[in-house]
Structure 1
Amino acid sequence: MATLLRGAAASALADGGPGRRSEGPDDRDPRDPRAALLGLACWAGAWLGVSLATGVGLALVVVVLLGLWRVRGLPWGQAVAVVLVAGWAAGMLRAESTTASQVAAWAQEGAVARVEVLVTGDPRTVQGSFGPVVFTRAVVEAAAARGATVRGRAPVLVLTDPADPGLVLGQRLAGSARLSAAEGRDLAAMMSPVAPLAVTAEPDVWWRGAAAVREGVRRAVAATPPGPRGLVPALVDGDDGRLPAQVEDDFRTTGLTHLLAVSGTNLTLVSGFLVAVARWSGVRGRGLAVVAAAGIVGFVLLARGEPSVLRAAAMGTVGLLALGTAGRHQGPRAWGVAVAALLLVDPWLARSPGFALSALATAGILWWSPTWRDALLPWLPRWLAEAVAVSSAAQLACTPVVAALSGEVSLVAVAANLLAGPVVGIATVAGLLGGVVVLVVPALGAVLGWGASLAAGWIILVATWTARLPTPAVPWPTGAAGIVLLSLGCLAVAWAAPRVMRSRRTSVVVAAALTVWIVVPPSVVRHVPVLGPASAGTAEGWRVVQCDVGQGDGLLLRVDDHAAVVVDVGGEPDAMADCLRDVGVSEVPRLVLTHFHADHVGGIDGVLDSVDVGEVVVSGLPAPGSGVEAVTRAASRHGVPVRVPALGEVHRDGAVTWQVVGPRSLLDGAPDAPVTEDGAEGSVVNDASLVVLADVAGPGGPALRVLLTGDVEPGGQRDLVTPLAGLDVDVLKVPHHGSAHQDLDFLTGLGAEVAVIGVGENDYGHPAPATLEALQRSGADVGRTDLDGRLVVVRRGGPVTLVRQR
Structure 2
Amino acid sequence: MGARPESHDLRMLLVAGAAWAGAGASRWLGWWSVLVPAAALVPAWLGRRAAPSVVRTLAGALVVLAAVAAVTTARLEQVDHGPVRALAEDRAAVRLAGTVVSDPRLVESQFDDVVLVRLEVRQVTGRGSTTGVATPVLVLGDDGWLAVPLGATVTAAGTLGTADDRGLAAVLAARGPPTVVAAPDAWWRGAAAVRQSIRDAVAHRPAAERALVPALVDGDDAGLDDGLAADFRTTGLTHLLAVSGTNLTLVVGFLLLLARWCGVRGRGLLVVGALGIVGFVLLARTEPSVLRAAVMGAVGLVAMGTDGRRRGARALGVAVAVLLLVAPGLAVEIGFALSVLATAGIVLLAPAWRDALGRWLPRSVAEAIAVPAAAQLACTPLVAAISGQVSLVAVVANLLVAPVVGPATVLGLSGGLVGLVWPWAGRLLGTLAGWCVAWIVAVATRGADLPGAAVGWGTGAVALAVLTVVVAAVALGGPFALRRPSTGIACCALLVVSVLVRLPTPGWPPGGWVLVACDVGQGDALVLNAGPHAAVVVDAGPDPTLVDACLDSLGIESVPLLVLTHFHADHVDGITGVYDGRSVGTVETTRLLDPPEGVAEVDAVAGEPVPAPYAATQQVGQVTLQALWPLPDSPTVGPGDGSTANEASVVLLAQVRGVRMLLTGDVEPEGQAALAAAYPGLRVDALKVPHHGSRYQDMDWLLSLGARVAVTSVGADNDYGHPAASTLDPLAAAGTRVLRTDLDGAVAVVEDDGGLSVATR
With 182-191 and 274-283 compared, the bigger mean Cα shift is at 182-191
Which of 565, 568, 573 aligns to 1:595? It is 565
Report if the CA contact (8 A) 1:372-1:501 is conserved.
yes
Do the aligned residues in 2 keep the contact of 1:689 with 1:709 (CA within 8 Å)? no
Q: Which residue does the alignment assign to 2:676?
A: 741
Shift of 1:210: 1.0
Structure 1 residue aligned with 2:259:
278
- Correspondence for 1:656 among 618, 621, 626: 621
2:11 pairs with 31, 34, 43, which one?
Answer: 34
CA spacing shift, 1:593–1:39, aligned 2, 3 Å: farther
2:410 corresponding residue in structure 1: 429
The alignment's TM-score, normalised by the length of structure 2, stands at: 0.78
Q: Is the 8 A contact 2:612 2:650 kept in 1?
A: no
Shift of 1:31: 8.0
Task: Assess, with a 3 A threshold, how the Cα gap between structure 1 residues 706 and 201 changes in structure 2: closer, same or farther.
Answer: closer
Name the aligned partner's letter for residue 637 of structure 2.
Answer: D
- Separation of aligned partners in 2, 1:552 and 1:463: 25
Residue 722 (structure 2) aligns with: none
Q: Are 2:429 and 1:458 aligned?
A: no
Distance 1:672 1:709 in 2: 26
- Counterpart of 1:672 in structure 2 is 637
CA distance in 2, matches of 1:370, 1:360: 15
Change (3 A) 1:769 1:61: same
Note the C-alpha offset of 1:306.
1.3
Task: Report what 1:181 is aligned to.
Answer: 162
SS in 2 for 1:368: helix
Shift of 1:128: 4.5
Query: Please, which of 103, 117, 121 is the counterpart of residue 140 of structure 1?
Result: 121
Out of 786, 789, 792, the position equivalent to 2:737 is: 786
| SS across alignment from 1:32 | helix
Residues 520, 622 of structure 1: CA spacing in aligned structure 2 closer, same or farther, 3 A cutoff? farther
Q: Distance in 1 between matches of 2:437 and 2:667?
A: 52
CA shift, 1:399, in A, is 1.7
> Does the 8 A contact of 2:676 with 2:701 survive in 1?
no
Deviations 1:669-716 (A, max 9, x none): 954359xxxxxxx9754653275889x8xxxxxxx899976338999x
Distance 1:683 1:114 in 2: 36
User: Does the C-alpha gap of structure 1 residues 253 and 712 become closer, same or farther in structure 2, counting only changes over 3 Å?
Assistant: closer
Q: In structure 2, give the amino acid aligned to 1:373.
A: R
Equivalent pairs, count: 697
Structure 1 Cα separation of the partners of residues 666 and 308 of structure 2: 68
Aligned positions of 1:321-332 closer than 5 A: 321-332=302-313
- Inter-partner Cα distance in structure 2 for 1:755 and 1:664: 16
What amino acid is the match of 1:492?
A
* Cα distance in 1 between the residues matched to 2:302 and 2:171: 41
**Higher alpha-carbon deviation: 548-557 or 446-455:** 548-557
Contact preservation (8 Å) 1:792, 1:805: yes
Could you tell me which of 183, 187, 190 is aligned with 1:202? 183
Equivalent in the alignment of 1:409:
390
> What stretches of structure 2 of length at least 5 have no aligned partner?
708-734, 740-746
Within the alignment, does 1:586 sit opposite 2:586 as a pair?
Answer: no
Of 688, 697, 714 in structure 1, the residue corresponding to residue 649 of structure 2 is: 688
Give a deviation string over 1:693-750, Cα, whole Å, max 9, x none: 89x8xxxxxxx899976338999xxxxxxxxxxxxxxxxxxx98x99715337x88xx
| Greater relative contact order (CA < 8 Å, ≥ 6 in sequence) | 1
The residue matched to 2:24 in structure 1 has which SS? helix
Quote the Cα distance in structure 1 between the aligned partners of 2:509 and 2:665. 32
Higher mean displacement: 278-287 or 506-515: 506-515
Shift of 1:201: 1.9
Map 1:509-524 onto structure 2 (within 5 A): 509-521=490-502
Could you tell me how far 1:175 is from its partner in structure 2?
5.0
In structure 2, do the counterparts of structure 1 residues 565 and 270 end up closer, same or farther at CA, with 3 Å as the change threshold? same
- Aligned AA for 1:619? T
1:268 maps to 249
One of 514, 526, 531 as aligned partner of 1:559: 531
SS at match of 2:144: coil
Cα separation, partners in 2 of 1:32 and 1:654, compared to 1, 3 Å = farther
**Letter of the aligned partner of 1:656 in structure 2?**
G
Q: Confirm or deny: 8 A CA contact 1:133 1:162 kept in the other structure.
A: yes
What's the CA shift for 1:646?
Answer: 2.9
Partner of 2:721: none
Query: Contact 2:277–2:294 (CA<8 Å) still a contact in 1?
Result: yes
Distance 2:368 2:592 in 1: 45
**Is 1:52 matched up with 2:5?**
no
The question of whether the paired residues in 2 share the 8 Å contact of 1:119 and 1:138 is answered with yes
Checking the alignment, whether the CA contact within 8 Å between 1:663 and 1:689 is kept in structure 2 is yes
2:663 to 710, 730, 747: 710
Letter of the 1:744 counterpart: Y
CA distance in 2, matches of 1:597, 1:358: 39
Correspondences of 1:205-224 after superposition (within 5 Å): 205-224=186-205
In 1, Cα distance between equivalents of 2:31 and 2:566 = 46
Residues 740, 768 of structure 1: 8 Å contact kept: no
User: SS of the residue aligned with 2:108?
Assistant: strand
Specify which of 148, 154, 158 is matched with residue 167 of structure 1. Answer: 148
Partner of 1:382: 363
Residue 109 of structure 1 is matched in structure 2 by 90
Task: Specify whether residues 479 and 658 from structure 1 end up closer, same or farther in structure 2 by C-alpha distance, changes over 3 A only.
Answer: closer
Q: Does structure 2 retain, via aligned residues, the 8 Å contact 1:376–1:501?
A: yes
Check whether the contact 1:759–1:767 (CA below 8 A) recurs between aligned residues: no
214, 224, 241: which is aligned to 1:233?
214
Cα distance in 2 between the residues matched to 1:235 and 1:520? 31
Q: Whole-Å Cα distance in 2 between the matches of residues 755 and 194 of structure 1?
A: 47
Offset of residue 595 of structure 1: 2.4
- 3-state secondary structure, aligned to 2:203: coil
* TM-score, reference length from structure 1: 0.74
- Between 100-109 and 454-463, report the one with greater CA deviation: 100-109
1:503-540: CA deviation from partner (whole Å, max 9, x where unpaired): 32223233222222221245xx58xxxxx75886x4xx
Deviations 1:270-302 (A, max 9, x none): 110111011112211111111111111110111
Pick closer, same or farther for the CA change 1:364–1:645 going to 2, 3 Å. same
> How many angstroms apart in 2 are the aligned matches of 1:302 and 1:714?
46
Distance 1:160 1:334, change over 3 A: same
- Counterpart of 1:741, as a letter, is A
Q: Deviations over 1:540-599 (max 9, x none)?
A: xx6x72569999995643523x655555799999x9999999xx953342274552699x
> Which residue of structure 2 aligns with residue 700 of structure 1?
none
* SS, match of residue 206 in structure 1: helix
Q: Which residue of 2 aligns with 1:757?
A: 686
> Taking structure 1 as reference, are residues 354 and 644 closer, same or farther at Cα in structure 2, changes over 3 Å only?
farther
Work out the CA distance in 2 between the residues paired with 1:548 and 1:213: 46
SS of structure 1 residue aligned to 2:251: helix
SS in 2 for 1:428: helix
Of all paired residues, the percent bearing the same amino acid is 40
Three-state SS of the structure 2 residue aligned to 1:28 is: helix
The alpha-carbon deviation at position 499 of structure 1 amounts to 1.8
Quote the Cα distance in structure 2 between the aligned partners of 1:654 and 1:660. 6
**What is the distance in 2 between the residues matched to 1:667 and 1:68?**
80
Q: List runs of 5+ in structure 1 lacking aligned partners.
A: 1-23, 527-531, 675-681, 697-703, 716-734, 749-753, 774-783, 795-800
Q: 1:178, CA displacement in angstroms?
A: 3.3
Structure 2: how far apart are the matches of 1:405 and 1:556? 29
- Give the corresponding residue for 1:777: none
Worse-superposed segment, 476-485 or 387-396: 476-485
CA distance in 1, matches of 2:432, 2:195: 17
How far is the alpha carbon of 1:357 from its aligned partner? 1.7
Q: CA deviation at 1:385?
A: 0.8
Q: Secondary structure at the match of 2:22?
A: helix
User: Do the aligned residues in 2 keep the contact of 1:648 with 1:660 (CA within 8 Å)?
Assistant: no
Pairwise CA distance, 1:334: 0.9
Alpha-carbon distance between aligned partners in 2 of 1:449 and 1:291, rounded to the nearest angstrom: 25
1:478: Cα distance to partner? 3.2
**Shift of residue 252, structure 1, vs aligned partner:** 1.0
Alignment of 1:619 with 2:589, yes or no, is yes
How many angstroms does 1:68 deviate by? Answer: 8.8
- In terms of mean alpha carbon deviation, does 613-622 or 197-206 score higher? 613-622
